[in-house]
Amino acid sequence: MFEKLLIANRGEIACRIQRTARRLGIATVAVYSDADAGALHVRVADEALRIGPAAARDSYLRGDAIIAAALRSGAQAIHPGYGFLSENEPFAADCASAGLLFVGPPPAAIRAMASKSAAKALMQQAGVPLVPGYHGEDQSPALLQREADRIGYPVLIKASAGGGGKGMRRVDAAADFPAALASCQREALASFADARVLVEKYLLQPRHIEIQVFTDTHGNGVYLFERDCSVQRRHQKVLEEAPAPGMDPKRRARMGAAALAAANAVGYVGAGTVEFIAGPDGKFFFMEMNTRLQVEHPVTEMITGLDLVEWQLRVTSGEALPRSQKELSIRGHAIEARIYAEDPERGFLPATGRLVHYRTPEATPTVRIDSGVEQGDEITPYYDPMIAKLIVWGESRELARGQLLKALQQIQIVGLSNNVQFLSRLVATPAFAGADLDTALIEREHSRLFGATAPVPDAALIAAALRIVALQTQAAHEGPGLEVWRHADSWRLNAPAARTFHFRTAGADRELVVRPANGGFELKLDARTMQLQWQALSATDARLSVDGNSFDATTLVRDGHCDVFLQGIHHQFEYADPLAHVGEQSAAEGHIRAIMPGRIVALLVQPGARVTRGEPLLILEAMKMEHTLAAPADGICEAFNVAVGEQVAEGTELVQFTPSVPAPA
């Protein structure tokens, strides 16, 4: 085995690879961009080298800089993780030329699978079943349209070089094809520098089932069973599990054999994943092969008890696979949830910001957290907005699901939008509970998953009021927060006998009056009077007892914004500080602003056009994805303040829009 490994990646996967390397006694070298100089993966590595500015193309995608760093550090091998250079054939070849081991398959195998179109042609020859479609070289729009018409709608246009759910458009009718094709090609070119696409039949209610394969340089090959990754949003995985619910041993063996046939057809070595799409009738078709470690590999580790990164390192150093097919078996059930900085209520728009408060459940043999950040760290706009992965294990699917719900309720994130509450709701839906899985589950369960936030409970308002008092007392005394929390007395020192708090929740404005009484407090909320006792547990945590019912709350108050975690639910509301300005209500109705920094790629209506609510007005490309901005109401699109190709900052007012019924002042 080699002695020093450079990890050409960042975030949770860089941290995760380091853990295995360390266990095997291999020294680790991290690389970082300017945006990551203080990142966790840098802090935990044995050594760290800067490779360039923040933008990925100037750092994590700079193969030459990474190879130079490896040579400088004396590393003998490079692990690319996933994303970035993990499926980059020239990089794998350059590593070899520089005398470095590349932890991944031979360059030729990467090339063979790099284009979804070419891979499909190869798989056709190898007898692996394919989705009906067109994956030819001729890319003329007329021909593509004819092929789509022939295949029959709905069809899916996919970037041949695509990945990560980008560069895909579902088309339901012939008339929509040209616009969808143009948009898909634009995104493909921007994201993958390759505008070529393929067209295939869009399967309705399919499941995404993938097979983990492993091969070595001695001619051995095994499959480590399947993962079901059907629960997706925007064609991107959100929940992954193993084994796939309802899989029977015969079908598993057939899929395993097909996956190994795919791997062998390209002379594969190492860890790879063959992705299939399966119809409700159980038929399965090859989609693509990912020639690298997958984000969701931990669920396979949990049900097999194996460390896939260890296997990768062993295979790379020339060892034979540690186990044969006969020696592999499945134990229990594992589920992974991807925790993202994003706003589910706004189309899963990626979010950025600082993790002001970040708490995850304690790791146990059945609960695993793969995180690349700690409290205080920043999620920047430069890279994937994944915060962490939560992986749980149980004897059965239902036990694993229970574990997952419990663990999700222990995650606390303040400072940026995230999908934790969304995931809790998702895992609790009858469809997920009943393993009624397909890729449209999230759309189907829309009404359960979005909108209607639960009303803020009284307990949350009470916790916030106490926190505000503690913070103000702390500010007045400049003492440590915990001490102030502990001494209910300080209340009397610093506050008038009774105080009134105004909270603004989504549903209503609430008023809470708090008065010291009987060594505790007396509360008045609406017409009710309650007795409160409390005890501080930490700087942010308190145990409250209201009329004898006790509960724990984690509470943060910043700039008039309150975040209260109560029994796993995150409540957010505003505190109207009487001393601060009353916030001007923005007449949000009439404004169309850039939701994040990006580039304008298309203006879709003529200035002066009368539009209806929801009508697309322009397309903004941000974080390599296209976001369509629509009319917020019926009205007139008077003029655009921006032009195609223009780079805009977050918050830029993009359109002069006049709603037909003026927004209330």
Residues with catalytic function: 292
Q: Are 598 and 642 in contact (CB under 8 A)?
A: no
> How far apart are alpha carbons 6 and 41 in whole angstroms?
12
Q: What are phi and psi of 42, to 5 degrees?
A: -80, -40
Does residue 203 belong to the site contacting ligand ADP (CB under 6 A)?
A: yes
Spatial CB neighbours of 326, under 8 Å, sequence gap ≥ 6: none
User: Helix 116-125 vs helix 107-114: angle between axes, to the nearest 10 degrees?
Assistant: 100
Question: Among all chains, which residue has been given the structure tokens 């360390």?
Answer: 22
**In this complex, which beta carbon is closest to ligand ADP, that of residue 40 or of residue 113?**
113
Name residue 657's amino acid: F
Nearer to ligand ADP, 229 or 413 (CB): 229
Q: Is 476 left (phi over 0), alpha (psi -120 to 50) or beta?
A: alpha
Q: In this complex, which beta carbon is closest to ligand ADP, that of residue 216 or of residue 275?
A: 275
Told to check if 184 binds ligand ADP by CB under 6 A, we report no
570 binding ligand ADP? (CB under 6 A): no
Instruction: Find the binder of ligand ADP among 212, 439, 473, 505 (CB under 6 A).
Output: 439
Q: Which is nearer to ligand ADP, 275 or 563 (CB)?
A: 275
Q: Report which residue type is found at 96.
A: A
DSSP-derived letter for residue 49 is: E
- Comparing CB distances to ligand ADP, the nearer of 131 and 600 is 131
Choose, by CB under 6 A, the member of 53, 163, 590, 659 that binds ligand ADP.
163
Backbone torsions φ then ψ of 121, nearest 5 degrees:
-60, -40
Instruction: Quote the least distance from Cβ 600 to ligand ADP, whole Å.
Output: 25
On whether the CB atoms of residues 381 and 401 are closer than 8 A, the answer is no
Q: Is 652 in the site for ligand ADP (CB under 6 A)?
A: no
Nearest residue (CB) to ligand ADP, 89 versus 275: 275
- 277 interacts with ligand ADP by CB under 6 A: yes
Site membership for ligand ADP, residue 206 (CB under 6 A) = yes
Q: How far is the CB of 356 from ligand ADP (least distance, A)?
A: 32
Amino acid symbol at 532: L
Of 109 and 631, which has the nearer Cβ to ligand ADP? 109
When asked if residue 275 is in the footprint of ligand ADP (CB under 6 A), the reply is yes
Q: Which is nearer to ligand ADP, 134 or 358 (CB)?
A: 134
Stretch that binds ligand ADP, among 34-42, 161-169, 452-460, 492-500 (CB under 6 A): 161-169
Residues 6+ apart with CB under 8 A from 508: 455
Site size for ligand ADP (CB under 6 A): 20
**Pairing relationship of beta strands 47-52 and 655-659 according to DSSP bridges:** unpaired
Stretch that binds ligand ADP, among 160-168, 482-490, 546-554, 638-646 (CB under 6 A): 160-168
Query: Applying CB under 6 A, does 178 fall inside the site for ligand ADP?
Result: no
At closest approach, how far in Å is the CB of 277 from ligand ADP? 5
Cα distance between residue 337 and residue 517, in whole Å? 46
Beta bridge partners of 213: 223, 272
Q: Single out the residue of 2, 32, 102, 202 in contact with ligand ADP (rule: CB under 6 A).
A: 202
Name, in order, each residue with C-beta under 8 angstroms of 188's C-beta and a sequence gap of 6 or more: 159, 160, 161, 162, 166, 167, 194, 195, 196, 197
Residues 230-249 that bind ligand ADP (CB under 6 A): 232, 235
**Contact with ligand ADP (CB under 6 A) among 52, 81, 105, 162:** 162
Stretch that binds ligand ADP, among 203-211, 311-319, 499-507, 593-601 (CB under 6 A): 203-211
Question: Do residues 613 and 633 make contact, with C-beta atoms less than 8 angstroms apart?
Answer: yes
Among 16, 111, 135, 208, binds ligand ADP (CB under 6 A): 208
Which letter does DSSP use for residue 395 in this model? S
Could you tell me which stretch among 8-16, 156-164, 483-491, 494-502 binds ligand ADP (CB under 6 A)?
156-164
Annotate 481-524 with DSSP letters as a single string.
Answer: HHHHHH-TTHHHHHS-SSEEEEEE-SS-EEEEEEEEETTEEEEE
Q: Please name the amino acid found at residue 384.
A: D
Q: Closest approach of Cβ 122 to ligand ADP, in Å?
A: 15
293 or 468: CB nearest ligand ADP: 293
What is the smallest separation between the CB atom of 272 and ligand ADP, expressed in angstroms?
Answer: 14
Only one of the segments 201-209, 464-472, 589-597, 654-662 lies at the binding site for ligand ADP (rule: CB under 6 A); that segment is: 201-209
Q: Is 457 helix (H, G, I), strand (E, B) or coil?
A: coil
- Buried b or exposed e, range 226-244, using 16+ CB within 10 angstroms: bbbbbbbbebebbbbbbbb
| Interface map 285-314 toward ligand ADP (x if CB under 6 A) | --xx--------------------------
Among 494, 340, 314, 312, CA closest to 417:
340
Contacts to ligand ADP by CB under 6 A? 131, 156, 158, 162-165, 200-203, 206, 208, 232, 235, 275, 277, 287-288, 439
